[in-house]
């Protein structure tokens, strides 16, 4: 599973999950089950997780990370 972890600057705009939803649905729809956001109240941040079964590749992930206006994502694995 590819995971992008928030590193403390996240303000919860959820652009990353929206964008990942767009990309992983082959630009056909949103709310796909293969993208998930987990909220960590203890550190007030989000983790974006993409199911390995999704069509997203490394390039897509780099796009998502680049899109984050707060630059708070990184590719964790």
Partner 1 sequence: MLKSGRILFVNTDSVQAEAKIQPELSDSIGGLAQAVALSSLYPQARFIFSLGPLTGFIPFCSFGCGYYFIESSWQSCYWGGLFPSALKMAGYDALVLSGESSGSFNLGISSQTVRFGADLVGDIFPQERYSSHMTYTGSQFVIDGRMVLSSKPAYALKKIGISRIFIQGDACVPVSDGEELCLIIEDLLGKTRLLATLPGQNHSCFLCPAGCEQADSVFSRHTSPLGSCLVACPLAQPIFNDNGLVFSCLRALGYSYNHDQITRVEKFVSSYL
Q: Figure out which of the listed residues 3, 7, 25, 65 binds partner 1, where binding follows CB under 8 A.
A: 25
3, 15, 34, 65: which one contacts partner 1 (CB under 8 A)?
15
Site string for partner 1, 45-64 (x = CB under 8 A): --------------------
What DSSP character marks residue 34? T
Sign of the CA dihedral with 60 first, then 63, 69, and 75 last: positive
Residue 66 to residue 43: CA distance in whole angstroms = 22
Tokens of 48: 């974006």
Among 3, 7, 22, 34, binds partner 1 (CB under 8 A): 22
């Amino acid at each position: 599973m590819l995971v992008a972890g928030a590193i403390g600057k996240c303000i919860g705009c959820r652009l990353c999950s929206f964008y990942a939803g767009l990309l992983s649905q082959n630009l056909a729809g949103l709310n796909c089950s293969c993208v998930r956001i987990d909220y960590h109240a203890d550190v007030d941040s989000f983790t974006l997780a993409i199911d390995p079964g999704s069509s997203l590749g490394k390039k897509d992930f780099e796009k998502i990370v680049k899109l984050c206006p707060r630059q708070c994502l990184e590719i964790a694995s």
